[in-house]
Structures are given as C-alpha cells and as structure tokens.
Amino acid sequence: MSGVMRSGAKAVSGAPAVLDRPITASSAWRADGLTADDWILKIPPKALAELDELAGKLASYEGPVEDLSATDYALEAVRELMAAVDDRLHHGIGFVVLDRLPVERWGIAAARAIGWMLTSLLGPVVEQKADGTRLYEVKDSGAKLGYGVRRSVTNLDQDFHTDGGWLAQTPAIVTLVCLRPASAGGLSRVASLARAHDELRERHPDLLERLYQPFWWDRQAEHAPDECKSSRHPVFTLCDGQLTVRHYADYVHKGYALLGESLDDDGAAALRTMKAIVAAPENRIEFHLEPGQIEYVNNHLLAHARTAFEDDATRGGRYLLRLWNRRQGGIELEPQQGASDEAETVPASRAAESQGAGD
C-alpha cells in the first residue's frame, strides 16, 4: 500500500524480512511538513449537486442503510471524487478529511446513508463485530470500560492505534463520519506509522526487529464464546514488498494478560518506544471534525487517536459513524484461518478475564 517499499528488505534465515532503508513515500510525513490543505478535500459543486439529488431520493427510504448501493445511481462526479480520496489514501499522505456533507440541511438519516454510500466506493465495507455490524456508531453509551466494552463507546481518551489489530486481516481504510461533534474535547489526531518505522530504524534498530516478531493481541471479545480470546500478530509485516502496520500497545498488554503470560522485556521496550514516537507532537496532526466532515485513514500505515470529550444533553451527544473497508475480498470480520500473516490463536481455556477494551 502507498508504495512504501519495493526493495531494501533485510532477511535472516528463519526470521521475518525487515525493511532496512528509509521510507521515501508521502505517507512517511512529519507534522511540520503538512498544512490543512494537504488533508482537507472540498466536495466539488458537481459532486455536491449529485449528493443533494440523492439525499432527496433517500428522504423517504426506511430500509437498512447497509442495503443501499452506490451502483444503483450514476453519481459520475461523486465517483471521481472518491477516486481522488482513494489515491490520496494509498499514494499520498494516507488520510483525507472530506469537507463536507450538509448535515444540517439533509438531517442525520440522509447523512448516514450518504456516508455509507460514499465509503462503499472505496471497497467492500466489512464487519466490525462478531454480530455482523458494519455501520458502527461511535458515541458515549455510558457503559464502563471493561472486557468487551470498547473505548469508542465511552467518552474517554483513546491513544494512537490502528483499528482491528487483533484480526487476521486488518481493514485497509477506517472512515469516521461526523454527524455531531462533542460539546467539548474529542479532538482528532493522526500520525504516520511509516515515519515511526524510519525513526525506529535510525535510533532503535534492535527494537524495530522485535516489532517484526509476533505479539499476543486481545481479540476484544469479538468471537464465539468457545473460541480463544487472543491472537498472534507482529506490529510490522513486510509482504510482497509492502509494509503493513498494527499499532495499539493496550491491546497487546491485554492479550498477554488474557493468557496469564508476561510480555518479554524487549517487546515491552519496543512497544513503549514506538508509542512515544507516534504520539510525539512533531509527528502528529490534530484537528476538530466538524458536522458533515468525513475522516478517511489508511489503516495500514497511519494511526489515529482522540482526546476525551464532554457532551451536552440538551443538544445531543458526540455522534460519529465508523466504517471499515478492505480493498478486495469478502466482508467477514474474520476470513478463513491462514488468510493472514502470522495468525495464531490459543484455546479459550488458557484465557483469563481482561481488564479493559480498546477501539
């Protein structure tokens, strides 16, 4: 993805290949090298006119949003727009804020439907939960953080992470459709994991090699009751000349806790160092998502985060929709076992209770 590398891999017999050269792609950015013009993409007038017409047609629609298909409508300018989004995600800096859907004029229902249809033009919209959920609501549910309760349904802050790091095949794109912002807080953040790889290679090559080795990840209770609770994946994977990254130290620590095992010292140091690099002010972009804006993130090369927030009950709480895309393949949360890199699991009998959940 994003043309991160085509050569320069170092391999040792029996060990995974490690990318051993600087990443020159646009996705390996620092914050001081970008301005808002680099990530904000205005919806052109022709595309907005097509979406306005579509919103009118959907005004009386009462079926499931997931049954709507962009292929049922012409939407020529909209397709050109989403092709530009896709290009920026996979050949540019790796994230886009599409500006914006007129939520106030259309209403929440139409904006939900059109957010779904726009995102479906980037590839199959895949399941995010074991119950088949594909249109995931990000709002404060009032639930207390614990096993099987993700931070995304609380108002707590959330560290930099990639989505679905426990999965055999992680989503290629994460989409966040802002329908209503928080009254206070809820700042969005994005950071380049390709840049983090460069810093690790330059300053901590020994720790970088550990990150190419597998870790145990908490599966977030998104599996059948009799299945194992942890899966095994590296942070960095180099496959067919492409770098893919999973990042969320919280999931890894809980993955080991579920097994009653301790993370090795090198692994803990590697995760701690990478977390600090990713979160450093010089490596992150931050912004407020406004109503109708849509954030698209390359989930294989960038991490995203949010700050804690407060809601005002009189105006409704923070409300975002999250969608996951693969560029190809089915929509199942978990493809057939063996369809991914380094996928391993353990019997449920070895797992203990986790103390919290993630995204």
Given a cut of 80, whether residue 85 has pLDDT beyond it is yes
CB 39 within 8 A of CB 210: no
Q: What's the confidence (pLDDT) of residue 154?
A: 80
The 10s digit of each residue's pLDDT in 166-206 is 999 999 999 999 999 988 878 999 999 999 999 999 999 99
Residue type, 46: K
Q: Using alpha carbons only, how large is the chain's radius of gyration in Å?
A: 20
CB 235 within 8 A of CB 212: yes
Q: Label residue 350 by pLDDT band (50, 70, 90).
A: very low
The 10s digit of each residue's pLDDT in 212-253 is 999 999 999 898 888 889 999 999 999 988 999 999 999 999
Q: 35-326+342-350: which CATH topology?
A: Double-stranded beta-helix (3.60.130)
Please state, in angstroms and rounded to a whole number, the distance separating the CA atoms of residues 138 and 318. Answer: 8
- Answer left, alpha or beta for residue 260, where phi above 0 means left and psi between -120 and 50 means alpha: left
Given a cut of 90, whether residue 12 has pLDDT beyond it is no
Q: What's the confidence (pLDDT) of residue 341?
A: 41
Pairing of strands 302-306, 188-192: antiparallel
Segment 7-30 shows an average pLDDT of: 81
CA 226 vs CA 229, 260, 345, 348: distances in Å: 9, 18, 12, 6
Handedness of CA 237, 197, 88, 172 (dihedral sign): positive
Whole-structure pTM value: 0.90
Concatenated DSSP letters of 134-173: -SEEES---PPSBTTB-GGGSSS-EEEE-TTTTSSS--SE
Tell me which DSSP letter residue 55 carries: H
Q: List the chain domain ranges.
A: 35-326+342-350
Segment 318-336 shows an average pLDDT of: 90
Given a cut of 60, whether residue 208 has pLDDT beyond it is yes
Given a cut of 50, whether residue 95 has pLDDT beyond it is yes
Given a cut of 70, whether residue 349 has pLDDT beyond it is no
The 10s digit of each residue's pLDDT in 252-304 is 999 999 999 999 999 999 999 999 999 999 999 999 999 999 999 999 999 99
